Chains A and B, each alone.
Chain A
């Protein structure tokens, strides 16, 4: 029988679809030992893909280094990526696939706090660990805490705390809070308001634009009308870029000083010089001057040709810490033992000492306030560290979003 063109096309299309679906995006290596799999339900498409790229970059570097040294417990690390499209329901579905089909015991790489809250809630049932290296919502280690969730990164309230401590010394008195309308944005604004009021300053307005807002004009008008001296911004990457672009056109920064909950390289690259002088907190500024970090930045730049952004650094730290904990526990299969080994353990991070609290699984770590500055050594603006606070000062009381 002769194959018609139509049959051929149909067959080829089906084959292509099967190829695309059948093989997860992993590189297999010829190891004798069974690999330790880490599942990453992250965002690889749409405007939050910039964060998924950071997760991938960090894992690629760490994976290459640890596997060259013989892996963990003699087993190689294997990273399995899934695209959640920044949707909590999809994140849960993809995480479930990773747990049930791929048999992972460790999840990480969730981008939005709303995704992390959804996935974390399922972890006790699945008996797997979710390690956050990005998610900021305070609730994750407070109201919504469960013992399968660990947070390596600085949380939203911790960033707000560092900024509030910094602002307590400044002559500015009146502030406006603008946060994206989801867990992290609302949480951060609430936390900032509380702390800045405690510092005897005034919050003259708050607002919550939806995620993905294209036109911030009416919010900018509102901020201007409030006669605030500073505006606290908790907007995720692309929203923050758009807000800045428009605020500059309206001349807002001349009247109201912008203060960012997270001041990222991504924003500085996307906006260039107009961003110069902006102040914000940073969870990991790549300019931090420790021997370990200097070396990391060099290796990272060698591999990827760019300087590490906030989540490159924090994800790398998470993966390294997790590997050390697995090594210490002596098992990558008994999740309970890994949890016990992690609790109350210490780790030397890129920017200083980390400590994993047993009571709420929040990593105590230094907090930074940084400013975007020009430096002829770099092709873009860089975060200059204005002040760093020790972990005890910027980490909230156990299982709360309150500070001592």
Chain B
């Protein structure tokens, strides 16, 4: 095993982890604050990719779509929260599962009708095309950008939650919504904003993933399964957990895929199973 090879595989794992983080952190956030397992989360990721495709085609600028597409997805998410989810928070969890699952089906069908079944290509912007020499390994620039994007988003997200007033309110609502409401926080608004933010993050993941996987039907379903594994391993509602979970799943898929590709998936589910048995609240989650 040569050094360049090890570096390449480490970068591969990091790039995949970055992508998984962008998707799973929103899923985790929504659960932490709204107490909802959002099945539609993957579809917002897919929407991000398709909107990114449309915007790149129309404007010719990847950077513009990297900002605008997630914003649009975020608005759509917030609108859906205040028009549907808002009315069933008090119902049993099965209602919320059914609703978000239904939303996922409707949105996916809408995309199929609008865009057709053929995958849509998105090219990386010119400065990110091609590859660079890195300690002996030849590595695609776009994947390095993905890693950087993941790190930057994780850092600012952490700042937002831990160091701003809005983040404080958010944590208060997560801990005890009723008490936070009594103390003057507008819980309903917090929920709408959080749902929108989570969708925007998923959308960002989608735009960022598009140059790597194209925009295609079913990409939401395929990512949501991994995202669930990430949050179960890391702990629902914990950002640090999403980070750790993403790294574990990313590394397991990359190295597992290399050495024992047949069992790569089994390894991840094995880890998840072990966590569920010995630490059901996840690595970073809080025991309830």
Report whether A47 and B217 are in contact in the complex, using a CB–CB cutoff of 8 Å. yes
Size category of the A interface is 35 or more
Distance between Cα atoms of A221 and B131 in the complex (Å): 14
Q: Which residue of B lies closest to A237 (CB)?
A: B119
Q: Is B254 among interface residues, defined by CB-CB distance under 8 A?
A: yes
Report whether B121 and A272 are in contact in the complex, using a CB–CB cutoff of 8 Å. yes
Interface of B is mostly: helix
Q: Is A245 among interface residues, defined by CB-CB distance under 8 A?
A: yes
CB distance from B62 to the nearest CB of A (A): 15
In the complex where A53-B117, A208-B262, A251-B138 touch, is A270 in contact with B214 (Cβ < 8 A)? yes
Report whether A47 and B218 are in contact in the complex, using a CB–CB cutoff of 8 Å. yes
Chain B residues near A181 (CB, 8 Å)? 261-262
Report whether A270 and B120 are in contact in the complex, using a CB–CB cutoff of 8 Å. yes
Which residue in A46, A49, A269 is a CB contact (below 8 Å) of B221?
Answer: A46
A231-285 residues at the B interface, CB under 8 angstroms:
238, 241-242, 245-246, 249-251, 266, 269-272
Count A-B pairs with CB separation below 8 Å.
114
Which residue in A45, A209, A212, A249 is a CB contact (below 8 Å) of B109?
Answer: A45
Report whether A46 and B140 are in contact in the complex, using a CB–CB cutoff of 8 Å. no
Q: Is B59 among interface residues, defined by CB-CB distance under 8 A?
A: no
Q: Is A210 among interface residues, defined by CB-CB distance under 8 A?
A: yes
Chain B residues near A272 (CB, 8 Å)? 121
Which residue in A210, A221, A238 is a CB contact (below 8 Å) of B216?
Answer: A238
> Interface residues of B, CB < 8 Å — how many?
43
Chain A residues near B265 (CB, 8 Å)? 210
CB distance from B238 to the nearest CB of A (A): 24
CB distance from A337 to the nearest CB of B (A): 37
Which residue in A45, A221, A270, A271 is a CB contact (below 8 Å) of B5?
Answer: A221
CB distance from A227 to the nearest CB of B (A): 13
Which residue in A49, A242, A250 is a CB contact (below 8 Å) of B213?
Answer: A242
A-side residues, CB < 8 A to B, are: 45-50, 52-53, 181, 207-210, 212, 214-215, 217-219, 221-222, 225, 238, 241-242, 245-246, 249-251, 266, 269-272
B-side residues, CB < 8 A to A, are: 5, 8-9, 12, 15-16, 108-109, 112, 116-121, 124, 131, 138, 140, 142-143, 209, 211-214, 216-219, 221-223, 226, 253-255, 257-258, 261-262, 264-265
20 A-B residue pairings within 8 Å (CB atoms): A47-B216, A47-B217, A47-B218, A50-B118, A52-B117, A209-B261, A210-B264, A210-B265, A215-B212, A218-B12, A218-B257, A218-B261, A219-B258, A219-B261, A221-B258, A225-B5, A245-B212, A245-B213, A249-B142, A249-B143
